[in-house]
Amino acid sequence: MMMDPAHGTIGSEEPDMRDMQKNNFAEVGGDAQPQQEVRRVNNDPRAAKQKGNQPRRDRRDVHGWVVLDKPIGMTSTQAVAVLKRLFNAKRAGHAGTLDPLASGGLPIALGEATKTVPFVMDGRKRYQFTVCWGEERDTDDIEGQVTATSDQRPTREAIEALLPRFTGVIEQVPPRYSAIKVQGERAYDLARDGEVVELAPRPVEIHHLTLVDQPDSDRSVFEAECGKGTYVRALARDMGRILGTFGHICALRRTLVGPFDENDMIPLDQLEALCDRAASGEGSLADALMPVETALDDIPALAVTRADAARLHRGQAVLLRGRDAPTSSGTVYVTVAGRLLALAEVGNGEIIPKRVFNLTGLTASTGRNERN
């Protein structure tokens, strides 16, 4: 089973280490279509429109999430820059790097949504990826130099028998070309300079790993759902070594990041078309935004009165009173009249605000407050 090349592959948690160099897939983390081997697209589809000495527009307050279906060939940093320009937004950032050779879900936070980025990055990731057997490469993906080869190819039965060893909490040695710091320097910088990089194994959690397809003896398509810090490239490398055939990632697609799945993704061309319609008065950019609180799906919500909201907005704690006061403790997101107000801690009979939101400006349209 082969996938549409426009829906290539997936990525990771590390910084955009390859944004300024030609390299590798991202890291870790499903219900995606199997992939074809990667093909590049132009790094920035809108770059040609940025030439010339056009006057710069004043940035505006835009708050919410856009889950870009990132195309192959675009870095995460470029994607954020494109979204920031399309929305003319003051602030933007992404929740987990997706490297140039990967495609799929890149959640981009605009405005006050940037305060909720950690909640997305700490969530589960799901990937679909293709392993090419017979070669191990120094980057553990298709961009690297070949370091070992084998004429052997694994059978479906051998692969499926191996998968339980890579499920649950396992010890994983990160790739040499990763953003992990070694004595203050990024491992990929040391590796690029020719230094031998020895990284210690660390525990990661893989919730499930399945063989999706085996289109031929040279390639196998997998789906993995993982916790923070897992490296898909390392999975391919380690499976290849145990199977005695070697292997590397040749296609990667991210299909889940925290609360965001494929139903939330929007391709860049559709987003650009929506922006063009909005500029001509035929629509609203708010239709492309998901509410800031979408990132807080796993956190309890707590409604307060307008009087209590005023205190919280000033950074003051609020005492919990009455029979409806929550008995639990921990992090909550606070709302007033259905509108997000703050992230807070509940404990010792009071609400203590930690991050207060100011949602003045463009926010998600009302209809986007209900997830499909």
Distance (Å) of CA 286 to CA 58, 63, 83, 166, 170? 18, 9, 13, 42, 42
- Distance, CA of 300 to CA of 309 (rounded, Å): 17
Cα–Cα nearest to 285, from 95, 104, 116, 89: 89
Contact between 125 and 29 under an 8 Å Cβ cutoff? The reply is yes
Count CB neighbours of 247 within 10 A: 27
Count CB neighbours of 199 within 10 A: 16
The three-state DSSP-derived secondary structure of the chain is: CCCCHHHCCCCCCCCCCCCCCCCCCCCCCCCCCCCCCCCCCCCCCCHHHHCCCCCCCCCECECEEEEEEECCCCCHHHHHHHHHHHHCECCEEECCCCCCCCEEEEEEEEHHHHHHHHHHHCCCEEEEEEEEECEEECCCECCCCEEEECCCCCCHHHHHHHHHHHCEEEEECCCCCCCCEECCEEHHHHHHCCCCCCCCCEEEEEEEEEEEEEEECCEEEEEEEECCCCCHHHHHHHHHHHHCCCEEEEEEEEEEECCEEHHHEEEHHHHHHHHHHHHCCCCCHHHHCECHHHHHCCCCEEECCHHHHHHHHCCCCEECCCCCCCCCCEEEEEEECCEEEEEEEEECCEEEEEEECCCCCECCCHHHHCCC
One of 19, 44, 58, 99 is an active-site residue; which one?
Answer: 99
Cα–Cα nearest to 69, from 50, 82, 85: 82
Is 324 a catalytic site residue? no
Q: Which residues are catalytic?
A: 99
